[in-house]
Chains A and B, each alone.
Chain A
Amino acid sequence: MFFSTLVIGLVLGGTYALIALGLTIQYGIARIMNLAYGEITIAGAFFVFLLVSSMGLSPLLGLVLVVPLGFALSWLLYGIVFHPLVKRASHAGQLEIDSILVTFGLMFLAQGLFTMFFGSEFAGYSWLQTPVNLLGAKIAAGRVLGLLIAVLIGGGLWLAMQRTRWGVNLRAVANHPEFAPLVGINRNSAARVAFGLGGAIAAAGGAVMSMYQPFTAVDGGFLTMKALVIVIMGGVGNLGGALMAGLMIGVVEAYVSYAIDPGLTLAATYTIFLGVLLWRPKGLFA
């Protein structure tokens, strides 16, 4: 049981890590604390759900389509909502407060729209439910595939951030936005691209989640909170840290759920979070 619980935890943590990556990019590079982040994830999940349940298409096709859509939606949102906030903010702290207030409102708006269109019932579809044997653990093939996709997207993104000119530029903006112009970077358009990229990842995370887990119109808030815990544990803007922290939270939840009580998973997550905030406020890997 030890091994199978570990595998279940890693599968769960893989999706958490993926979802948290987008938030850490939005917060670390675009400097927007996006409380409506989980709603983009749920939008991605609903999009794939519609493709699969009403058009009979493959969830994988849905994943491919949802990434550019998530980017475009967030990119537009940045231009319409956040660009004016960035322009008028006199310092970083003000932008943070303004963006928290605005995205808090956006969260309710999005949840209202989702409920209006899809109702408040669980949505989901069954896909690749056949169990596969992984190190002695029997796990639905869809979940394993979900983990693989999360690792592929996360790893690919990490490599791109390390190796490509584009990634190095985004890291520079995360490090010292005020120095970005010295090396020819337009920090406003870099922030907008980063926000779009975060949205693309959020939507991809939703698509992956929908592959093995039913969801509701109002689940976004929990996802945002979980992602936020992971982002802070990993260190804001630290992609590797978010990946590690995401997997960790998944594994802890799996063990707590197995050994103690499934109802305590959220409590366990927040206990870890509290510990990190008290003793390692800059993240576990700082």
Chain B
Amino acid sequence: MFEAKNISVRYGKHLALDNVSLSVGEGECVVILGANGAGKSSLLRGITALSPRAPGGSVHYCGQDISDVPAFGIVELGIAHVPEGRGVFTKMSVEDNLRLGGNPVRARGSLNERRDEVLEMFPKLAERRRQIVGTMSGGEQQMVAIARALMSQPDLLLLDEPSLGLAPIVVGEMFETLKRVRDTGMSILIVEQNVHASLNLAARGYVIEAGRIVGEGDANTLMNDPVISEAFLGH
């Protein structure tokens, strides 16, 4: 359903992502594991054109070459990106943020139903629809970010370290919610440092190091891979 071939991202002289290829199947949940600065965020930003890709390489989605689609056109195609740091509009209300998520034409027809579904998934947000997002806790802001992405009715959801900076109990809740999202049949590509929880969520994974893919396999294999345990679990 989704395939990136040989994409690279360069910030000035620094090559953050070096010729990376990966794919996500229909309804599949794929995790990208890697340490800080390995290029995980650059990979997602390169996919959605939020960071310009270096020449060469291609991105295909649902049989379509989307390499030249600008960043603002990506969500319209059905790819929603929850970036690192959440990317929410902090001076606006929860309601406004969700409404913005419903911007793509593909989502406009069923906006109210969609919002009800999303708020059912995040009951805390339902109570706080009028609250200004910047005044909420980190976990709540992360929920707003994910809920906003879901409002666009995506077929592929890109999540950039959703657990970063959250209290352990909130992380647990969030992964439970993500499981429910996954079980609706949505494809998910998630970047995480929380190896255990994300391998429980995902069916398959890639390992990224210094901007290159250095390993891949199904979740069970990766979970038992000594290299991964050593690199990310610290034992």
A residues within 8 Å of B by Cβ? Answer: 165, 168-169, 171-172, 175-176, 179-187
Contacts and interface: CB of A to CB of B under 8 A. Distances in A.
B114 interface: no
A184 B70 CA distance: 10
Contacts of A187: 72
A165 B99 contact: yes
B91 A183 contact: no
Interface string B83-96: 10001111110001
Contacts of A186: 70, 72
B62 interface: no
Given A168-B96, A171-B96, A184 B89 contact: no
B177 interface: no
Given A168-B99, A184-B103, A184-B104, A175 B92 contact: yes
B72 A184 contact: yes
B222 interface: no
Contacts, number: 62
23 contacts: A169-B100, A169-B103, A172-B89, A172-B92, A175-B92, A176-B87, A179-B88, A179-B89, A181-B49, A181-B72, A181-B74, A182-B71, A182-B75, A182-B80, A182-B81, A182-B83, A182-B87, A183-B75, A183-B101, A183-B152, A184-B76, A184-B103, A184-B152
A183 B103 contact: yes
B204 interface: no
Nearest to A237: B91
A146 B81 CA distance: 47
B141 to A, nearest CB: 12
B75 A184 contact: yes
A176 B90 contact: yes
Contact of B89 (A165, A175, A181): A175
Contacts of B152: 183-184
A179 B88 CA distance: 7
Contacts of B73: 184
A28 to B, nearest CB: 11
B54 interface: no
Interface in B39-89: 48-50, 70-76, 80-81, 83, 87-89
Contacts of B83: 179, 182
B80 to A, nearest CB: 8
B66 to A, nearest CB: 14
Contacts of B71: 181-182
Nearest to B99: A168
